[in-house]
Amino acid sequence: MKTLFNTTLSAMAAILISFNVSASGGVALDAANTDITDEASLQRGAKTFMNSCSGCHSIELMRYNRIAKDLNISETDMANNLMFNAEKTGSTIFSSMSEKDANKWFGTTPPDLSLTARAKGTDWIYTYLNSFYADDSRLYGVNNHVLENAAMPDVLWQSKQDKSEKAFNQEIRDVTNFLDYVSEPVKLIRYAIGVKVLGFLFILLILSYLLKKEYWKDVKYGKWRVKD
């Protein structure tokens, strides 16, 4: 019985691992270890995204003022320091690049990143951002282990050069975390409500138990007995 259980378990693990690998072109993915409740990380990620990614990538399903509200960034701070492509805080996050230019420069348009974290997962994004390597045969001199022949240049190379490995990993973890938040902004609310609901159920459990005790306190040995 035990061996059957073990065989089933290892077969399931093998299937899971092969899914993980096939989604990333044969590369095992690193764990992103992001934490959507870490507000400071999300704020840093938003900053990195606006500075280093929004020139090419849009997040069309998200508005600046929603980010400001969810991540506790003041709207003035948002308007002055994080909005490079739009005038109004109510605007969605579109990229500053036209489709025509993008096709000319990259042979493709940089995809909208609204739902990428849900489609590919945070581990994929994190590993992708850490997997650029020099390859002179490519237009921008780099290739990517996770997305073979990616048209995206290694936009964070300067940062990778200047920072310690730990600090750089944190930077890409933050931007991955931000993309995770963006792909499902209600996650923050969902988690908060989940905790409250569990708290409510716990209190209800205590009350129900006390009520049950009250109802049954006069019943002994299965027979109704009037209190003496």
Report if residue 185 touches ligand HEC, rule: CB under 6 A.
Answer: no
- Nearest to 56, CA basis, from 104, 91, 89: 104
For the bound state, the minimum distance from the C-beta of residue 128 to ligand HEC, rounded and expressed in Å, comes to: 6
Rounded to a whole number of angstroms, the minimum distance from the CB of residue 38 to ligand HEC is 17
* Angle formed at CA 184 by CA 145 and CA 26, multiple of 5 degrees: 20
Place of tokens 């205590």: 206
Tokens of residue 227, six digits: 């209190």
Between 166 and 217, CB nearer to ligand HEC: 166
Gap between the Cα atoms of 139 and 49, Å rounded? 23
- Binding flags for ligand HEC, 54-93, as an x/- string (CB under 6 A): -xxx------------------------------------
User: Applying CB under 6 A, what is the total number of residues that bind ligand HEC?
Assistant: 22
A 10 A CB-CB count for 6 gives 10
CA 144 – CA 132 distance, rounded (Å): 4
From 156, 177, 180, 181, residue interacting with ligand HEC (rule: CB under 6 A): 156
What's the Cα-to-Cα distance from 178 to each of 9, 40, 172, 213, rounded to whole Å?
Answer: 34, 10, 10, 49
Tokens found for residue 52: 């280093």
Provide the minimum distance between the beta carbon of 159 and ligand HEC in the complex, in angstroms, as a whole number: 9
Handedness of CA 138, 139, 140, 146 (dihedral sign): negative
Binding ligand HEC by CB under 6 A: which of 20, 153, 170, 188? 153
- The yes or no reply on residue 121 touching ligand HEC (CB under 6 A) is no
- Toward ligand HEC, which CB reaches closer, 90 or 111? 111
Q: Which is nearer to ligand HEC, 64 or 124 (CB)?
A: 124
According to CB under 6 A, which residues from 19 to 58 bind ligand HEC? 52-53, 55-57
**Closest by alpha carbon to 93, among 128, 41, 120, 55?**
55
Nearer Cβ to ligand HEC, position 136 or 214?
Answer: 136
Is residue 150 within the footprint of ligand HEC (CB under 6 A)?
Answer: yes
Q: Footprint of ligand HEC on this chain (CB under 6 A)?
A: 52-53, 55-57, 106, 108, 110-111, 116, 120, 125, 128-129, 147, 150-153, 155-156, 175
